[in-house]
């Protein structure tokens, strides 16, 4: 079945730098993807939902890239600020089965 | 305002006691989920419910059971809790299945002594 590997598990950056998180998946039939943000002690909040038809997705302060050939989903926090400090989870889906979540990346942004 | 609620938020139980975790949603979503979250493991799916009395095992159902008698409520039951069931439990709901966005509750922190 589908497997999702998320890297790195931990990431420390300075304010203003970029933070880059990658998920690789194995099933080429996967066609929809999610990024969730979880602040300390809180629940998961949807950052972005993307479909395989769009390779570059712009959000507020971040970009989601999808490389279907390499089966890689990436989240780039551009110009990170302390409010971006959180855990980030990718999730990969296809019809007929439940989402598969990555193991998460804890991002720490220092001033 | 779309909302998923969970009760209780914190719970301490002794090994062998029964545990009931409750989840509610006000969005008339068909599908509801129970996950547990452990450090380094991400979210693991325990059970999924497609509607009232239509429940399926997830990836780690052993030691758990669920009940969904109303569309807006989904319960997770631990009969005779074990120490390795200490975890944070999240409930989620989605409009339908598959590609629909899952909305998560605030979580329940369970400690089994």
pLDDT at residue A52, as a whole number: 77
User: What is the DSSP track for A4-45?
Assistant: EEEE-SEEEEETTS-EEEEEEES-TT--EEEEEEE-TTS-EE
Residue of B nearest to A99 (CA): B98
A58 Cβ partners below 8 Å, 6+ apart?
none
* Residues of chain A positioned with their CB less than 8 A from the CB of B88: none
pLDDT at residue B16, as a whole number: 97
In this prediction, residue B40 has a pLDDT band, given cuts at 50, 70 and 90, of confident
* Residues of chain B positioned with their CB less than 8 A from the CB of A95: 98-99
In this prediction, residue A54 has a pLDDT band, given cuts at 50, 70 and 90, of confident
Mean pLDDT (chain B, rounded) = 94
* Residues of chain A positioned with their CB less than 8 A from the CB of B34: none
Alpha-carbon radius of gyration of chain B: 13
Q: Is B105 in Cβ contact with A93 (below 8 Å)?
A: no
Is the pLDDT assigned to residue B1 strictly greater than 70? Answer: no
Q: Encode pLDDT of B4-37 as tens digits.
A: 999 999 999 999 999 999 999 999 999 999 999 9
Please state, in angstroms and rounded to a whole number, the distance separating the CA atoms of residues B40 and B67.
28
Is the pLDDT assigned to residue B50 strictly greater than 90? Answer: yes
A89 touches chain B (CB under 8 A): yes
CB A48 within 8 A of CB A57: yes
Q: Encode pLDDT of A62-99 as tens digits.
A: 999 999 999 999 999 999 999 999 999 999 988 777 88
Residue B41: which region, alpha, beta or left (left: phi > 0; alpha: psi -120 to 50)? alpha
Please state, in angstroms and rounded to a whole number, the distance separating the CA atoms of residues A64 and A22.
10
Three-state DSSP class for B85?
Answer: helix
Pair of tokens at residue B15: 């090994």
């Amino acid at each position: 079945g589908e497997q999702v590997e998320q890297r790195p598990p931990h990431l420390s950056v300075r304010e203003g730098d970029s933070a880059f998180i990658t998920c690789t998946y194995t099933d080429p039939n996967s066609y929809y993807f999610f990024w969730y943000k979880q602040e300390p002690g809180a629940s998961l909040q949807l950052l972005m939902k993307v479909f395989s038809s769009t390779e570059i997705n712009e959000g507020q302060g971040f970009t989601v890239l999808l490389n279907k050939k390499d089966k890689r989903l990436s989240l780039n926090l551009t110009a990170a600020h302390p409010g971006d400090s959180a855990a980030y989870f990718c999730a990969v889906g296809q019809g007929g089965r439940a989402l598969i979540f990555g193991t998460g990346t804890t991002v720490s942004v220092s001033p | 305002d779309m909302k998923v609620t969970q009760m209780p938020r914190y719970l301490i139980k002794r090994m062998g006691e029964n545990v009931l975790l409750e989840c509610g949603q006000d969005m008339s979503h068909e599908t509801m989920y129970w996950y547990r979250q452990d450090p380094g493991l991400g979210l693991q799916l325990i059970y999924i419910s497609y509607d009232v009395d239509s429940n399926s095992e997830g990836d780690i159902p052993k030691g758990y059971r669920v009940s969904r008698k109303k569309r807006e409520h989904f319960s997770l039951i631990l009969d005779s809790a074990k120490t390795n069931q200490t975890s944070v439990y999240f409930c989620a709901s989605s409009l339908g299945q598959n590609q629909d966005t899952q909305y998560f509750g605030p979580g329940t922190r369970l400690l089994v002594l």
